[in-house]
């Protein structure tokens, strides 16, 4: 029976009024109790209100119950706990929208892939692969291969394939596989079937100057099947000459006297990896230059062919030399340049692999002055604090005697330590000049024809308090002369009274510091074992290397030391740059750094060593390291510079804490 509707607002208002008028307890007490008659009437009313269902209604109720059982039963026939049911939400519009987009993208990608495979990998005639492989770096004269690769990945063949290879000018062809067709540098291939490939290998060598780049080019022309048009492919490869394999050194004066014999000496030898067996030396002749005929060298492998041309038949590790003598018949300029070059020969053709230009100051003087510093007439690098040993050789090559000769040595530099000057002839010093006249050297009063002599002196380079980047760190030295007592009238612009000029660039201020410690700067033990060392017991120490450099960039930088037989490698090596390695066979410890740019002022490295003293070493101070050496090439001066450290012992000369409790003697 449906429940009658009530007015909630009305009920609420009535409840509110009743609450305001009296309490619920009072209302309960005042309400009269139902009589037996009233109860019987109520039960009869309820019974009459519940109607007996018909058969049709009962069938419908059973059908509903069965439907509900199917919904709330699990697969095993049991009832589902509705409190734990997971209700799946119905898929909305956005779900189906994005699903459709995703499926469309997949289908599109698959379609494009199939299309791309069919077009590019299957039938695209431009998809022919064509490339060149080879050696990126090679030494002059070293044999190697170029490989020209071609491939047809398509489903169709190509016909009339023609490959043309253009070799570098300095490339010497030796052989190829397969051989070229009738036309030089062209390979003709009738057809290239689908999904096939091929290769052309070319063997040869390059003779060229160091760092020269040689480029090989290849072009491929072909006609795809079912096409009437010709297609083309191109490829290239670059090979750089790493080294020429020969040591070449020239010795000469930087000035040449007119009418006098001048000389250039070439010294050469083979390096460890050398592939050049012979070469030709040629000197270009100047218009005012005459070569002085040279005799064939006692070495049959060096032949004088004609003035200015020599042929060398064999290059060995033993140093050989060629003397190039010439004369300038007149002066046409204050400076002139002489060109020399070395060439390798193959089948009558010559390939240049070295060239040098020598700039000469042309002098027209009867007094020949030759300046030599530390045994060389050439420019060379020097170190701060190094002693410069000067020699001035003078000779009267004129037709008559020379009177009142004054010879001067000029040294232009801010780093000459004049207080270290040693001069046996007691020359007069004025600013940056030393001069000698007949007062110091009596022979200069009258210098007879062909008379000659030598002036020797030495001076040290100063050590600057600080290095200022960009400043000119070099020494420019030359000798000059005048006749008569008044040498103040000598003009610096007049070079006819000068000898050769030598430029000594000052090497970078590389420095090596080496310490062996048991305690570090923070007084923390970095060594182990007894101190001082005890016979039969192991004591370990820490070796510290510190490099500083401030002037020029360095190349090929490394530090090395050799461990004594009784010292063991302890490992625990570390370096701020480069690597520290130990060779157990040679017992060498090497810190390999390589390039050190000028922006890096300081580097450090460390490693451990250990000592187990023998009975024979008791009460002795033992050498831990014999000293270490740092070596590098100055990128500015091209000089090899080196610094070394002194031997280090168990006295631990650099460890103040250890020295407090040990005198270094083995106990």
Q: Is the peptide bond before 61 cis (omega within 30 degrees of 0)?
A: no
Residue 68 DSSP class: H
Q: 114 pLDDT band (50/70/90 cuts)?
A: very low
Mean pLDDT of 309-316: 91
Q: 190 pLDDT band (50/70/90 cuts)?
A: confident
Segment among 303-312, 466-475, 539-548 with least mean pLDDT: 466-475
- Residue 342 tokens read as 């070395």
For residues 657 and 512, what is the distance between their CA atoms, to the nearest angstrom? 23
| 367-504: CATH class | mainly beta
Mean pLDDT of 53-62: 59
pLDDT surpassing 80 at residue 533? yes
pLDDT for 364 equals 80
Alpha helix stretches (DSSP H) within 392-533? none
pLDDT for 658 equals 87
Q: 489 pLDDT band (50/70/90 cuts)?
A: very low
pLDDT tens per residue, range 80-108? 554 555 545 555 665 666 677 778 777 77
For residues 319 and 661, what is the distance between their CA atoms, to the nearest angstrom? 56
Segment among 69-83, 125-139, 180-194, 642-656 with least mean pLDDT: 69-83
520 CB contacts (<8 Å, ≥6 apart)? 526, 542
For residues 402 and 405, what is the distance between their CA atoms, to the nearest angstrom? 7
Which one, of 633, 631, 632, 628, lies nearest residue 644 by Cα? Answer: 628
pLDDT for 8 equals 41
pLDDT for 98 equals 64
Higher pLDDT, 624 or 55: 624
CATH number 2.60.40.3670 is the correct assignment for the domain at 246-363: yes
Mean pLDDT of 486-503: 64
Higher pLDDT, 226 or 614: 614
Q: 30 pLDDT band (50/70/90 cuts)?
A: very low
Helix (H, G, I), strand (E, B) or coil at 123: helix
Mean pLDDT of 194-207: 94
Q: Which CATH code, of 1.10.540.10, 1.10.10.10, 2.60.40.10, 3.40.190.120, is assigned to 125-241?
A: 2.60.40.10
For residues 603 and 622, what is the distance between their CA atoms, to the nearest angstrom? 28
Q: Using an 8 Å Cβ cutoff, are 479 and 423 in contact?
A: no
For residues 303 and 313, what is the distance between their CA atoms, to the nearest angstrom? 8
CATH number 3.10.20.30 is the correct assignment for the domain at 511-661: no
pLDDT for 20 equals 40
Higher pLDDT, 470 or 602: 602
Secondary structure tally for the chain: helices H, strands E: 6, 41
Q: 6 pLDDT band (50/70/90 cuts)?
A: very low
Mean pLDDT of 322-344: 92
For residues 10 and 472, what is the distance between their CA atoms, to the nearest angstrom? 111
Higher pLDDT, 68 or 470: 470
Q: Using an 8 Å Cβ cutoff, are 286 and 336 in contact?
A: yes
Start-to-end Cα distance in the chain: 117
Annotated domain spans of the chain: 125-241, 246-363, 367-504, 511-661
pLDDT for 142 equals 95
5 CB contacts (<8 Å, ≥6 apart)? none
Mean pLDDT of 612-618: 93
pLDDT for 65 equals 58
For residues 359 and 335, what is the distance between their CA atoms, to the nearest angstrom? 7
Q: 147 pLDDT band (50/70/90 cuts)?
A: very high
pLDDT for 534 equals 93
Q: What is the dihedral of CA 215, 216, 221, 225, to 10 degrees?
A: -110
Q: Average pLDDT, whole number, for the chain?
A: 83
Residue 125 DSSP class: G
pLDDT surpassing 70 at residue 78? no
Higher pLDDT, 193 or 111: 193
């Amino acid at each position: 029976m449906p429940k009658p509707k009530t007015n909630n607002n009305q009920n609420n208002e009535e409840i509110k009024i009743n609450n305001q008028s009296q309490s619920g307890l009072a209302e309960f007490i005042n309400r009269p109790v139902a009589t037996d008659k009233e109860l019987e009437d109520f039960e009869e009313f309820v019974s009459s209100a519940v109607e007996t269902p018909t058969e049709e209604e009962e069938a419908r109720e059973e059908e509903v119950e069965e439907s509900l059982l199917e919904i709330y039963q699990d697969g095993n026939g049991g009832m589902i706990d509705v409190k734990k049911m997971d209700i799946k939400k119905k898929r909305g519009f956005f779900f189906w929208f994005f699903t459709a987009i995703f499926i469309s993208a997949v289908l599109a990608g698959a379609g494009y892939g199939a299309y791309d495979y069919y077009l590019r990998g299957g039938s695209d005639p431009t998809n022919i692969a064509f490339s060149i492989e080879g050696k990126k770096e090679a030494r002059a004269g070293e044999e190697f291969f170029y490989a020209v690769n071609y491939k047809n990945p398509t489903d169709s063949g190509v016909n009339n394939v023609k490959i043309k290879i253009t070799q570098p000018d300095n490339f010497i062809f030796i052989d190829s596989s397969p051989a070229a067709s009738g036309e030089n540098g062209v390979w003709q291939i009738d057809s290239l079937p689908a999904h096939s490939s091929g290769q052309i290998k070319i063997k040869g060598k390059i003779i060229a100057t160091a760092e020269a780049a040689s480029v090989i080019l290849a072009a491929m022309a072909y006609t795809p099947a079912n096409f009437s048009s010709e297609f083309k492919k191109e490829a290239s490869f670059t090979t750089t000459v790493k080294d020429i394999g020969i040591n070449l050194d020239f010795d000469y004066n930087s000035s040449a006297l007119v009418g006098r014999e001048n000389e250039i000496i070439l010294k050469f030898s083979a390096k460890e990896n050398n592939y050049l067996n012979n070469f030709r030396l040629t000197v270009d002749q100047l218009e005012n230059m005459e070569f002085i005929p040279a005799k064939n060298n006692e070495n049959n492998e060096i032949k004088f062919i004609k003035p200015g041309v020599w042929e060398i038949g064999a290059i060995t590790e033993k140093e050989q030399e060629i003397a190039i003598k010439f004369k300038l018949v007149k002066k046409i300029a204050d400076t002139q340049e002489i060109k020399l070059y070395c060439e390798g020969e193959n089948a009558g053709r010559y390939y240049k692999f070295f060239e040098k230009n020598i700039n000469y100051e042309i002098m027209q003087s009867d007094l020949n002055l030759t300046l030599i510093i530390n045994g060389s007439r050439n420019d060379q690098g020097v170190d701060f604090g190094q002693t410069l040993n000067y020699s001035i050789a003078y000779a009267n090559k004129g037709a008559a005697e020379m009177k009142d000769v004054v010879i001067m040595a000029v040294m232009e530099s801010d780093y000459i330590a004049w207080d270290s000057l040693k001069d046996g002839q007691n020359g007069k010093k004025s600013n940056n000049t030393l001069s000698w006249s007949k007062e110091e050297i009596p022979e200069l009063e009258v210098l007879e024809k062909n008379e000659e002599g030598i002036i020797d002196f030495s001076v040290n380079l100063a050590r600057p308090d600080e290095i200022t980047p960009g400043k000119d760190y070099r020494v420019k030295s030359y000798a000059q002369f005048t006749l008569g007592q008044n040498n103040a009238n000598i003009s610096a612009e007049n070079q006819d009274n000068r000898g050769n000029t030598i430029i000594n660039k000052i090497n970078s201020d590389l420095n090596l510091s080496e310490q062996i410690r048991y305690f570090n700067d923070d007084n923390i033990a970095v060594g182990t074992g007894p101190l001082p060392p005890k016979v039969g017991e192991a004591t370990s120490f820490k070796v510290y290397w510190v490099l500083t450099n401030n002037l020029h960039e360095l190349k090929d930088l490394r530090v090395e030391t050799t461990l004594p037989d009784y010292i063991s490698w302890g490992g625990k090596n570390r370096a701020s740059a480069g690597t520290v390695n130990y060779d157990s066979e040679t017992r060498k410890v090497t810190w390999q750094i390589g390039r050190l740019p000028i922006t890096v002022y300081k580097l450090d490295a460390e490693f451990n060593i250990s000592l187990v003293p023998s009975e024979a070493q008791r009460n002795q101070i033992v050498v831990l390291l014999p000293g270490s050496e740092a070596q590098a090439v100055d990128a500015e001066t091209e000089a090899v510079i080196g610094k070394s450290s002194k031997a280090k012992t168990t006295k631990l000369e650099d460890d103040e804490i250890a020295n407090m409790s040990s005198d270094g003697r083995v106990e």
